Structure formats: C-alpha cells, structure tokens
C-alpha cells in the first residue's frame, strides 16, 4: 500500500491530477490555470534533469515527460481561450 501512496504522491502525479481536475471544470480562473501550468512546467524540468543526469533513466520517466508536455499544451490552450475580460 505504501508503494501505491508513494507513487501517487510523486510531484508529476499530483500535478497531473490537479491539471485533469482543472481541465474538466469549465469556469477556471487565469490564476488557477497559471498555477497548474507552473507545477507542470516544474515537473517537466525536474524530469528532464533526471533524464539528463541518469544515463539509465527509465522509459517511464520519458513517457511521463511526454504526458506532462501534453498537459502543458492543454493548459496553454485553455489560457489562450480565456476571454480578454478575464485576463
């Protein structure tokens, strides 16, 4: 059970869950989207550093960085779609 909790508490996993919740809820503020985008961006940078530093980094980390990048693209799309009055 601990391994499951540990896996779900990884920074990229918590940011992924938060981002999925943000994307599923229609009325979201710019500040909330930017905060989630910052978390996803931090995770991408952390994973990229891990992949670069560890020659035997797992394929899972590479797949996770791809997922985080796709999530960031969705958040950016939502930010661009916000009405100008909300920005």
Per-residue pLDDT at 18 exceeds 70 = no
Top-confidence residue, 33 or 5: 33
Give the per-residue pLDDT at 19.
63
What is the average per-residue pLDDT within 54-81? 89
Mean pLDDT, the chain, whole residue set? 79
Per-residue pLDDT at 23 exceeds 90 = no
The alpha-carbon radius of gyration of the chain (Å, integer) is: 14
């Amino acid at each position: 059970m601990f391994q499951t909790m540990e896996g779900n508490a990884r920074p990229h996993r918590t940011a992924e869950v938060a981002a999925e919740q943000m994307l599923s809820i229609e009325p979201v503020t710019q500040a909330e989207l930017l905060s989630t985008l910052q978390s996803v961006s931090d995770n991408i940078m952390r994973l990229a550093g891990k992949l670069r530093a560890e020659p035997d980094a797992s394929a899972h980390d590479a797949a996770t960085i791809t997922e985080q990048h796709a999530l960031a693209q969705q958040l950016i799309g939502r930010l661009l779609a916000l009405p100008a009055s909300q920005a």
